[in-house]
Amino acid sequence: MRVLISKPQIELRIAELAREISRDYGGQSITLLGVLNGSLMFLADLVRQLDLPSRIGFVQATSYRGATTTPGELDVNPGLVPDVRGRQVLLLDDILDSGVTLTTLKQRVWALEPASLKVAVLLRKRGRQQVPFEPDYCGFEIPNVFVVGYGMDYNDEYRPLPYVAELP
């Protein structure tokens, strides 16, 4: 596998994002809402560096199943979402690919009546968006390749890698 983003690059960028997010929220309490399972590493590293009071929740949304590198129908399980009514919410996902998942999730979270809702993604894949979507925070832009590591998987493998790599 070819490493696209090294562990030191990820650590540095997450520290930068944490400073930016902390500054933007100005000490307000936020709820980090991670999209399972891919955002787990990103969320864990980011929350430890935020200088903000925060709560953590999760939403499960899957479009890749088994040994596939192309998305299928989106399945959303909101059962893990905490009460976000009137709260500042930051939705975190591992990757902005087609934009369908994040557009759908943003609509569903807005329906829960948060005070505000922003989106952070670790990766944005160039040339793949099917619907217009602009994240509020983005770690890295990557080419249109299938990636694994740092929470992202192929057939439930490679998630624990400390870097992001292109799957051949």
Q: Where are the domains of the chain?
A: 11-61+74-142
- Largest Cα–Cα distance of the chain, in whole Å? 45
Which one of the listed residues 93, 97, 136, 156 is annotated catalytic? 97
Q: State residue 128's pLDDT score.
A: 80
pTM over 0.85: yes
Residue in 44, 100, 39, 112 with CA at minimum distance from that of residue 71: 100
Dihedrals φ, ψ of 157, to 5°?
-120, 160
Sequence-ordered list of residues with C-beta below 8 angstroms from that of 104, at least 6 positions apart, any chain = 61, 74, 76
Asked about 97 being catalytic, the answer comes back as yes
Q: State residue 81's pLDDT score.
A: 76
When pLDDT is averaged across residues 80-97 and rounded to a whole number, the result is 91
- What class has domain 11-61+74-142? alpha beta
pLDDT (tens digit per residue) in 90-149: 999 999 998 988 998 999 899 889 999 999 999 999 888 889 899 999 999 999 999 999
Rounded-to-integer distance, Cα 101 and Cα 62, Å: 8
Residue in 135, 144, 142, 141 with CA at minimum distance from that of residue 99: 135
Q: State residue 110's pLDDT score.
A: 92
Q: Which residue has the tokens 């000490």?
A: 27
Average pLDDT of every residue of the chain: 89
Instruction: Specify which of 49-63, 78-92, 147-161 reaches the highest per-range mean pLDDT.
Output: 147-161
Contact indicator for 168, 146 with CB cutoff of 8 Å: no
The answer to whether residue 17 scores a pLDDT higher than 60 is yes
